[in-house]
Amino acid sequence: MEQIAAGGPLGELLGQLLRAAGPAEAPAAVPGPQVSPSEARALLELLAARGIAQGDLASLLGLEKSTISRLAAGLERKGWIRRGRDTANQRYVRLHLTPEGRAVAARMWREWQDRQDRILGALSDQERAGLAVGLGGLIRALAAEGLIGELPSDAEHIAAATSAPTSSSHPALRSRPGI
């Protein structure tokens, strides 16, 4: 059942659910620099976006703009991001990963993928199929109630993909370089 493999649409649905649930605890005993859950989520979104307006990052993470400003300042102090004015609209501050920040985010992304593969790999094909249908419905229902914000534009495509083979992945993840 390729369409519901750990890296396929089910993985995308699980990722949406976990992102919507809020920050998770940071993995224990992970080699490399220590990263808070909020920093991790921000770095992964920046990795996907290849530069994003600070306000857009606030929306993606469900945080206040002032909180994102403090978070960005901390990431900048660590040397993981650089902030600059948007060339098209000087009112906006854009955030970009530095090479060091990209390396930290890529390491975290690989760890996330490994964990997700272990979680979904522990399920049978039948359990994964049921979970994919259930998660698609849950995300749609939570979005309809306004509990997780806007329904991602590709959510219907992902939910439909659980019943038809596909090799597509989440647009944000397709753009992740070097992972």
**Which CATH number fits the domain that encloses residue 131?**
1.10.10.10
- At residue 12, the pLDDT reads 73
Hey, what long-range contacts does 117-125 have (CB within 8 A, 24 or more apart)?
117/6, 117/7, 117/11, 119/6, 119/14, 120/5, 120/6, 120/10, 120/11, 120/14, 121/6, 125/1, 125/4
- At residue 170, the pLDDT reads 36
List the structure tokens of 86.
């948007």
Percent residues over pLDDT 70 in the chain: 66
Whether residue 103 lies inside any domain: the answer is yes
On the question of pLDDT at 99 being above 90, the answer is: yes
On the question of pLDDT at 67 being above 70, the answer is: yes
Whether residue 49 lies inside any domain: the answer is yes
Instruction: Give me the phi and psi of 178, to 5 degrees please.
Output: 65, 25
Comparing C-alpha atoms, which of 139, 132, 109, 92 is closest to residue 42? Answer: 109
User: What number is the average pLDDT over the span 98-112?
Assistant: 92
Whether residue 177 lies inside any domain: the answer is no
What pLDDT digit, counting tens, does each position of 114-144 carry?
Answer: 888 898 899 999 998 898 888 888 888 888 8
User: What number is the average pLDDT over the span 4-9?
Assistant: 57
Provide the residue range defining the domain that includes 10: 2-23+34-167
Whether residue 110 lies inside any domain: the answer is yes
On the question of pLDDT at 41 being above 50, the answer is: yes
Comparing C-alpha atoms, which of 111, 42, 114 is closest to residue 78? Answer: 42
Whether residue 29 lies inside any domain: the answer is no
Whether residue 107 lies inside any domain: the answer is yes
User: What number is the average pLDDT over the span 105-122?
Assistant: 89
User: What number is the average pLDDT over the span 89-105?
Assistant: 91
Averaged confidence pLDDT in the chain: 75
Q: How far apart are CA 170 and CA 130, in angstroms?
A: 20
Q: How far apart are CA 23 and CA 37, in angstroms?
A: 5
In this structure, which amino acid lies at residue 73? Answer: A
Whether residue 17 lies inside any domain: the answer is yes
Whether residue 179 lies inside any domain: the answer is no
> Binning pLDDT at 50, 70 and 90, where does residue 167 land?
very low
Q: Around Cβ 171, how many Cβ atoms within 10 Å?
A: 12
Tally of domains in the chain: 1
- At residue 106, the pLDDT reads 92
